[in-house]
Chains A and B, each alone.
Chain A
Amino acid sequence: MTTIAPDTASLAALEAGFEAAVAADERIEPRDWMPDAYRASLVRQIAQHAHSEIIGMQPEANWITRAPSLRRKAILMAKVQDEAGHGLYLYSAAETLGVGRDELLDKLHSGRQKYSSIFNYPTLTWADVGAIGWLVDGAAITNQVPLCRCSYGPYARAMVRVCKEESFHQRQGYELLLALSRGTDAQHAMAQDAVDRWWWPSLMMFGPPDDESAHSARSMAWKIKRHSNDELRQRFVDICVPQAESLGLTLPDPDLSWNERRGHWDFGPIDWDEFREVLKGNGPCNEQRIDQRRRAHEDGAWVRDAAAAYAAKHAEGNR
């Protein structure tokens, strides 16, 4: 970036223009002026989102070779492929803000940027694939649909495409669980066990409660976020309770009850200590996930070098 530093007066004018555009629900585009903090906040959020897609391939890919029918195997492979594709769109969206994919991957590999805490939980049975589709993708959609109206154009457009595919995945996850729930006793038990293990971590996907969320207020003012963490979490619970019922499965929360006055489902307290531990790197799979990612990257270095060397040779040859 080689822009000439604007003087104080013109900086104020730029800021005013930016604020007005955001207030009028106009989209901010890559070549528009934007505050440094807005840019940094978007880079952080989009990169974390992209990393989550990439790391999120692992818990599901864990079951590709063991999928119990060819139809399910095809669905799962297609899903994992979509996630790699989502990672690609999102890195491209981040690149419009002036950071490179390599730089972002480097930050992921060195632990300087995060990915969604949910992917630090293990997939122990086939039903986990369904629970991830229904609950994890469901939570992701609840979070991401409002992002389709986010103030930054490239991110909003990426989200439109991502959300379409995600809601397809969510339906497939639901349908997988339904098949298990209506299957043999062993299959039903497998589905219930998976929902029991994934429910609370899915609620944690919405982030810390509003009074502890460091970035929330500013992101909402900038219309990067449209709703608070707690609002979205509540919306998600309200959607899931009837769905669990129609699945014939229960949610592992004794405090779950309909609140007539609020018109919402009340639910029990979230174990925020666990959430913080997982974020700190002490979840069940943090180390394994990053190790695998790093190893894939390091083992692939010679392949990327070869592609670069080939491209360089042939660029010279064409001159």
Chain B
Amino acid sequence: MALGDDALVLSHRLGEWAGHAPVLEEEVALANIALDLLGQARVLLSLVGDEDELAYLREERSFRNCQLVEQPNGDFAHTIARQLYFSTYQELLYGQLAVGDGPLAPLAAKAVKEVAYHRDHAEQWTLRLGDGTQESHERIQRGLDALWRFTGELFEPVTGLDLDLTALHDDWITRIASVLTRATLTVPQGASRGAWTAGAGRQGLHTESFGRMLAEMQHLHRSHPGATW
């Protein structure tokens, strides 16, 4: 369920970009990524129960997504930083799950191709923004720094998943560092986990903006109990 929530919530955030992207090609790309993630969420949530009940009728404290994916979009650089951190993680995570014999292996094998494309998209933009203009360099570095404290959570155990977290973390750091170096950016130095709730999304402790996001997402569905759409 945690992985389904991750995909659902990030998909929603990317959906907020529709009609606001900096170029037409990015309208297509961001919507495409959002759709892939929504597809993953639907499969993952359906393994647990009814996808709509799980998406629309759970309250904030029952969501198990990591806090990184619920972070507001901010500017384009902020969105790209979030996507780089998360897609790199997802690619490695699904890579591990795909070679295992767990129930998620077939899904992971399909999804790993999608998330490799997401990671590539985020990487290409990190390079362009990092090594573009002074302004874009500063903006992407700011995004990377601001979101850094939500990355530690990605390497905490996830209920029901047998993962080599050390390998996941090491591979992730190596890849992120390599992209950031090529992009003339620096790997943030601060703590990768906040002092209190940052890093507790898997336990249902979220950041403030998440409740508002759910209010918007769930409002219509909850206004018509029992209706089908």
B133 touches A309 (CB 8 A): yes
Scan A58-75; emit 1 where CB is below 8 A from any B CB, else 0: 100100111111111110
B42 touches A303 (CB 8 A): no
Nearest B residue to A306 by beta-carbon distance?
A: B132
Q: How far is the CB of B5 from chain A (nearest CB, A)?
A: 13
Question: How many B residues, CB 8 Å from partner?
Answer: 49
A81 touches B27 (CB 8 A): yes
- Judge if A158 is at the interface, Cβ distance under 8 Å: no
- Judge if B19 is at the interface, Cβ distance under 8 Å: yes
**Secondary structure dominating the interface of A:** helix
A81 touches B32 (CB 8 A): yes
Q: How far is the CA of A80 from the CA of B25 in the complex (A)?
A: 13
Given contacts A77-B15, A81-B32, A184-B227, contact A66 B24 (CB under 8 A): no
A68 touches B224 (CB 8 A): yes
Given contacts A66-B217, A292-B19, A310-B128, contact A302 B135 (CB under 8 A): yes
- Judge if B216 is at the interface, Cβ distance under 8 Å: yes
B22 touches A183 (CB 8 A): no
A303 touches B19 (CB 8 A): no
Q: List 29 A-B contacts (CB under 8 A).
A: A58-B19, A61-B19, A64-B16, A65-B15, A67-B220, A68-B221, A68-B229, A73-B38, A77-B15, A77-B34, A80-B19, A81-B27, A81-B32, A81-B35, A88-B28, A187-B227, A296-B22, A299-B20, A300-B22, A300-B26, A302-B136, A302-B139, A303-B26, A303-B76, A303-B129, A303-B136, A305-B136, A306-B132, A306-B133
A residues touching B (Cβ–Cβ < 8 Å)?
A: 54, 57-58, 61, 64-74, 77-78, 80-81, 84-85, 87-88, 91, 126, 176, 179-180, 183-184, 186-187, 292, 295-297, 299-311, 313
Extra A-B contacts (20), CB below 8 Å, given A80-B18, A306-B133: A57-B27, A68-B224, A70-B52, A71-B42, A74-B38, A77-B31, A80-B19, A80-B27, A179-B229, A183-B227, A184-B227, A186-B227, A187-B227, A296-B20, A296-B21, A299-B20, A304-B23, A306-B128, A306-B136, A309-B133
